[in-house]
Every structure is written in C-alpha cells, then in structure tokens.
Amino acid sequence: MSDERAEELKTDTPHGREVGMTLVCPQCDLAVVVVDVGDAATASMTCHTTMKPARPMRCWRMYPEPPDVAVMAGALYTDEHSGLTVRCTRPGVGTLRLAGRRLAPATRQRLWRTAV
C-alpha cells in the first residue's frame, strides 16, 4: 500500500463527551452515562472496541446480568488520572478503558432508580 493511500484511510476518532451522554459498546451492548467528563473530553474510551454515542436510556431500567458480567448496572466507574466518571446503565462482559487505562469502580452502591 502506498503512503498516499495510507493517509486517506479514516480511523475511528474519539467523540467529544458531555455530561449525560450515553456510550455503548457495539460488541457487548454495555452502556454507560457520563457523570463527570473530568479532563477526558476526547480521550478514546473502549470496552471491546471504541464505544459509540447512543440514544439516552433510563438508568433505573434493570437488565439481566450476563453470567460473566464484568461491569455491573448502576455502579459508578472512574479514571483517577483524568477524573472521568461514568455510571453503568446496562451490564456487560467487557472492561471499560480510557486511553488504555482500566476504569475502577468508584463505589459499590448500585443505582436502583433515579428521580425524573
């Protein structure tokens, strides 16, 4: 492949994030809502692959957890380096990462329902 052709290929660039934005893993359907952007407005967030913006979904809706769940619905996850915090709204088997760093659970408290 020539150098000119390689420059033409498009890559999946990270999306700018905002508080309240829903992100979904296209492979396992894990979904999170951005609670605090911190300093990570454009850093690449991944699970199995780059997470994509999606329609908002209610946080109180409980989905059945897969048997090998890695990210639990209702739990907060954070990247201490950047301050990004997300709440899982649909469980999944993947691992949340921001710029290659694994997001850690921020609290063990589950979200059972939210005020509208």
Structure tokens, 85: 């915090």
Predicted local distance difference test score (pLDDT) of residue 43: 84
> 């659970």: which residue's tokens?
105
pLDDT of 4 strictly over 80: no
Q: In this prediction, what percent of the chain has a pLDDT beyond 70?
A: 70
Q: Where are the alpha helices (DSSP H) in 16-109?
A: none
Q: Tokens 């619905």 identify what position?
A: 73
Q: Does the structure show a pLDDT above 60 at 3?
A: no
The pLDDT tens digits for 45-84 are 899 999 999 987 766 556 666 677 788 888 899 998 998 9
CB atoms within 10 A of CB 98: 22
Mean pLDDT (whole number) for 77-95: 90
pLDDT exceeds 80 at position 5 = no
Question: What single-letter DSSP state applies at residue 42?
Answer: S
- The Cβ of residue 72 has, within 10 Å, a number of other Cβ atoms equal to 14
